[in-house]
Structure 1
């Protein structure tokens, strides 16, 4: 399950841009075989007086926290490829903002601590996971 939490100051994303970015994120994970419903994107607006970098308030800022649970990057090169992909996806939405401070990071969380609707997700790449992807829903297996 990828969970993208996008913390941002006001005016960074319109509703249409949020939809477009969330759809693009889900599209990517679906292309690599994850069920689309695994992908959760949350936009959390923070007032500039509540957004600090280096102890100073930032008038325009974005901080993206990504949790990967369903899959892990096996080596340094795949982690770098993932970071480049994330940058390429975010940059078009962010580069138009003058003076914007932005950053992201990815955590890879243990899948042993993950459930969807009270169910342990099926193993990655399994027939059960492909069934979940086809149904776009968690069902007992």
Structure 2
């Protein structure tokens, strides 16, 4: 599952902005064969006095952590492609916001410590995972 946690100061995202960003993120993962329900996006609004960059309060900031569990990048070039892809998703939502500090990072977590609705997800690319993607729901396999 990709878990995107978006920490941000007030006024960065409207409710519609959040929906558009979360949908765009899910769209990409679906295009590479993952079930949409694997994708979880959480928005956490933080007061500027609780958001520090370089030890100073940040009046306009976004910090995104992304946990990849369902898939991992096999090498440096794949990791660079992933970073560029994430940047392309974020740019339209963040560019042009005056004084905004924003950054992201991705962690790749073992899928051996992952369950959805009490079920261990099927192997990546398997017929069972493809079925999950088609039905957008967990099921026995």
**TM-score category of the 2 structures, normalised to the smaller one:** over 0.9
Aligned-pair RMSD on alpha carbons?
0.6
Aligned to 1:70: 70
Say whether 1:27 aligns with 2:23. Answer: no
Say whether 1:82 aligns with 2:82. Answer: yes
Deviation at 1:77, TM superposition (A): 0.6
What is the count of residue pairs matched by the alignment? 141
**Unpaired runs of 5+ in structure 1?**
none
TM-score by length of 1: 0.98
**Mapped partners of 1:24, 1:92: distance in 2:** 11
Deviation at 1:85, TM superposition (A): 0.7
Deviation at 1:91, TM superposition (A): 1.1
**Mapped partners of 1:113, 1:53: distance in 2:** 32
**Mapped partners of 2:89, 2:73: distance in 1:** 18
TM-score by length of 2: 0.98
Aligned to 2:41: 41
Deviation at 1:88, TM superposition (A): 1.0
**Mapped partners of 2:30, 2:8: distance in 1:** 26
